[in-house]
């Protein structure tokens, strides 16, 4: 009877077409148990996906001098489409901590039960992977899926903010970041995308108002070289500023005229699909809205764009602005209703100084306190100060 193995690697160490899996010498004893015709599934840590399936056809490097041998499994590959591990975690017996399911993938190779292997294999090989991941078809599984999603967090990478939010943004959600000019919205959004790149999650920045080169220069002030990640395909900047001004763009990714809702949605969907985007930023919605005739049309466009992002499985930030002299927290009055989270960034006067404050006004599936927290923008970007709660009158608020 064959045995069933789980191979764990990161995105840089995995080639879905390669028939050889390499291991460090400390896994020699485990590999000695692997036999021809055993089956193996590959899990990619940075992406949180099961992405490879095959049957072992050979084991090499176990004989001779351990210091000079190259340990490897030769695997006959089966073509599969990756699936998200978190959606299957409730059904896998070797994952005992369902809330922190990812902690179980801490070895390069280990044996898993046949039943668990077959569950993952079914998801990888079905003709409709999305249907395989739809846990609502079996009694009790839908509730388990919801429990997993409630406890799943997307780290923002912003010092202090993740601790306030219990680990980050809720997975597969749209977060509205709003405030006046200079409040730090774009910097926050860039940090969010760069944390995704660090975690192996590709990002898309849709620049509605700012020229891409201006965005790159702003990032360089903090030591962030966006072009490095653009060249590697981990980050995409979509130019909208030049095309909507009627000027030619030299950018690889852009939304061309006519600036219609269908054209925008189609282009964004194609780019997300092309790079397997997991994090998206739209900066900003006021610039997005000026191309529609009335606010009713803008609201329809925002709803449709948000539904596209959610259906793509992305966690997204949309930025908006507060209109001076108005009570609302967004330009069109619809953003706060489609968003699952709202972050308000403000600048206020404290004596002769100008300071910044951040408030979590809304964050679904999260325990948070409705307080104004001090934050600063330093050499490494935004840092929220959870222990510095600030108070000021509305008359002191600048933006």
Cα-flanking dihedrals φ and ψ of residue 362, to 5°? -160, 135
Region 230-252: mean pLDDT is: 87
Whether residue 95 is predicted with pLDDT greater than 60 in this model: the reply is yes
Q: Are residues 183 and 135 in the same domain?
A: no
Domain at 96, CATH number = 3.10.590.10
Q: Are residues 189 and 300 in the same domain?
A: yes
Q: Which residue has the higher pLDDT, 8 or 313?
A: 8
Q: For strand 353-363 and strand 341-350, is the pairing parallel, antiparallel, or unpaired?
A: antiparallel
How does residue 225 score in pLDDT terms, banded at 50, 70 and 90? Answer: very high
Q: Are residues 64 and 129 in the same domain?
A: yes
Q: Are residues 121 and 203 in the same domain?
A: no
Q: Which residue has the higher pLDDT, 106 or 210?
A: 210
Of the candidates 283, 269, 365, the residue with the CA atom closest to the CA atom of residue 314:
269
Q: Which structure tokens are listed for 103? A: 């902690």
Give me the domain span that covers residue 295.
Answer: 152-396
Give the best-scoring range by mean pLDDT among 272-281, 296-305, 316-325. 272-281
Q: Which of 92, 117, 147 is the last residue of a domain?
A: 147
Q: Are residues 141 and 212 in the same domain?
A: no
Q: Are residues 303 and 198 in the same domain?
A: yes
Q: For strand 315-321 and strand 277-283, is the pairing parallel, antiparallel, or unpaired?
A: parallel
pLDDT exceeding 70 applies to what percent of the chain?
84
Identify the residue whose tokens are 């010092």: 159
Whether residue 49 is predicted with pLDDT greater than 60 in this model: the reply is yes
Of the candidates 340, 330, 342, the residue with the CA atom closest to the CA atom of residue 309:
340
- 94-103, 156-165, 340-349: range with lowest mean pLDDT: 94-103
Q: Are residues 136 and 188 in the same domain?
A: no
Region 26-42: mean pLDDT is: 89
pLDDT given at position 302: 77
Q: Are residues 99 and 185 in the same domain?
A: no
Q: Are residues 141 and 169 in the same domain?
A: no
Q: Are residues 343 and 370 in the same domain?
A: yes
- 200-214, 258-272, 346-360: range with lowest mean pLDDT: 258-272
Region 336-360: mean pLDDT is: 90
pLDDT given at position 103: 78
Report the chain's terminal Cα–Cα distance, integer Å: 69
Q: Are residues 98 and 237 in the same domain?
A: no
User: For 72-81, what is each residue's pLDDT tens digit?
Assistant: 899 988 888 8
Region 147-167: mean pLDDT is: 85
Q: Are residues 163 and 110 in the same domain?
A: no
pLDDT given at position 134: 44
Q: How many domains does the chain have?
A: 2
pLDDT given at position 141: 57
Domain at 333, CATH number = 3.40.50.300
């Amino acid at each position: 009877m064959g045995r069933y193995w789980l191979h764990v690697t990161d995105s840089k160490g995995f080639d879905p077409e390669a028939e050889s899996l390499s291991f460090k010498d400390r896994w020699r004893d485990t590999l000695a148990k692997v036999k021809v015709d055993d089956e193996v599934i590959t899990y990619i840590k940075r992406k949180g996906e099961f992405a490879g399936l095959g049957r072992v056809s050979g084991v090499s490097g176990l004989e001779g001098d351990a210091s000079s041998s190259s340990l490897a499994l030769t695997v006959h590959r089966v073509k599969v489409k990756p699936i998200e591990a978190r959606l299957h975690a409730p059904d896998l017996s070797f994952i005992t901590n369902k809330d922190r399911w990812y902690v179980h993938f801490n070895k390069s190779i280990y044996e898993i039960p046949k039943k668990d292997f077959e569950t993952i294999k079914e998801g990888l090989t079905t003709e409709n992977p999305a249907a395989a991941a739809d846990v609502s078809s079996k009694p009790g599984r839908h509730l388990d899926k919801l429990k997993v999603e409630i406890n799943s967090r997307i780290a923002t990478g912003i010092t202090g903010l993740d601790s306030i939010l219990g680990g980050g943004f809720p997975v597969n959600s749209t977060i509205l970041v709003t405030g006046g000019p200079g409040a730090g919205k774009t910097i926050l959004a860039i940090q969010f995308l760069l944390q995704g790149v660090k975690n192996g999650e590709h990002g898309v920045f849709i620049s509605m108002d700012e020229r891409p080169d201006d965005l790159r220069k702003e990032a360089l002030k903090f030591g962030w070289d966006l072009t490095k990640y653009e060249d590697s395909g981990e980050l995409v900047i979509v130019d909208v500023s030049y095309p909507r001004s009627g000027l030619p763009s030299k950018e690889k990714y852009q939304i061309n005229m006519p600036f219609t809702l269908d054209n925008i949605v189609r282009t964004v969907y194609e780019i997300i699909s092309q790079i397997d985007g997991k994090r998206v930023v739209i900066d900003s919605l006021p610039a997005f809205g000026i191309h529609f005739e009335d606010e009713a049309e803008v609201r329809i466009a925002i709803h449709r764009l948000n539904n596209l992002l959610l259906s793509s499985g992305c966690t997204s930030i949309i930025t908006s602005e507060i209109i001076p002299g108005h009570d609302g927290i967004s330009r069109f009055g619809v953003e706060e209703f489609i968003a699952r989270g709202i972050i308000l960034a403000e600048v206020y006067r404290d004596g002769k100084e100008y300071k910044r404050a951040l408030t979590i006004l809304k964050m679904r599936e999260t325990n948070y306190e409705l307080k104004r927290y001090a934050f600063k923008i330093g050499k490494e970007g935004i840092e929220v100060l959870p222990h510095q709660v600030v108070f000021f009158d509305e008359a002191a608020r600048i933006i």
